[in-house]
Structure 1
Amino acid sequence: MTRRERRDLLELVGPLARGLRRIEERSARAAGLSMWQYAVLSAASRQEGLSQTEVADRLGYSRNRIIGDLDLLQERGLVERRTGSDRRRHHIHVTPAGRETAAEVRAAIWTAEDAMLAHLPGRTRESLQDLLEQVLAAPTSSTERG
Structure 2
Amino acid sequence: MTDRPDLAAMIVPLGRALMAAEQPVLAAHGLTMWAYVVLLHLDEGPARGQGVLAQEIGADKTRIIAVLDDLQERGLIERHPDPADRRARLLALTPEGRRLRDAAQAEIQMQEDRLLGKLPAADRRGFLNALTALAGLPRDEIVGD
Structure 1 residues 99, 37: closer, same or farther in 2, change over 3 A?
same
Counterparts of 1:1-146 in structure 2, within 5 Å, are 5-85=3-83, 86-138=85-137, 142=141
Q: How far apart in 2 are the matches of 1:144 and 1:50?
A: 25
Q: How far apart in 2 are the matches of 1:67 and 1:97?
A: 20
**Which sections of structure 2, spanning at least 5 residues, go unmatched?**
none
CA RMSD, Structure 1 to Structure 2 (Å): 2.2
Residue 60 of structure 1 and its aligned partner are, at CA, apart by 0.5
Structure having the higher strand fraction is 2
**Which sections of structure 1, spanning at least 5 residues, go unmatched?**
none
Over residues 28-49 of structure 1, what are the superposed CA-to-partner deviations in whole Å (9 max), with x where a residue is unaligned?
1110010101111110122234
Over residues 121-140 of structure 1, what are the superposed CA-to-partner deviations in whole Å (9 max), with x where a residue is unaligned?
23322211110111233457
| Greater Cα offset, 121-130 or 3-12 | 3-12
Q: How far apart in 1 are the matches of 2:127 and 2:140?
A: 17
TM-score, with normalisation over the residues of structure 1? 0.86
Residue 114 of structure 1 and its aligned partner are, at CA, apart by 1.2
Q: How far apart in 1 are the matches of 2:45 and 2:7?
A: 30
TM-score, with normalisation over the residues of structure 2? 0.87
SS of 1:67's equivalent in the other structure is: helix
Number of aligned residue pairs: 144
Instruction: Determine if contact 1:135/1:141 at 8 Å carries over to the other structure.
Output: no
Q: How far apart in 2 are the matches of 1:24 and 1:143?
A: 26
Instruction: Determine if contact 1:51/1:92 at 8 Å carries over to the other structure.
Output: yes
Q: Percent identity?
A: 34
Q: Which runs of 4+ in 1 moved over 4 A?
A: 139-146
Instruction: Determine if contact 2:48/2:82 at 8 Å carries over to the other structure.
Output: no
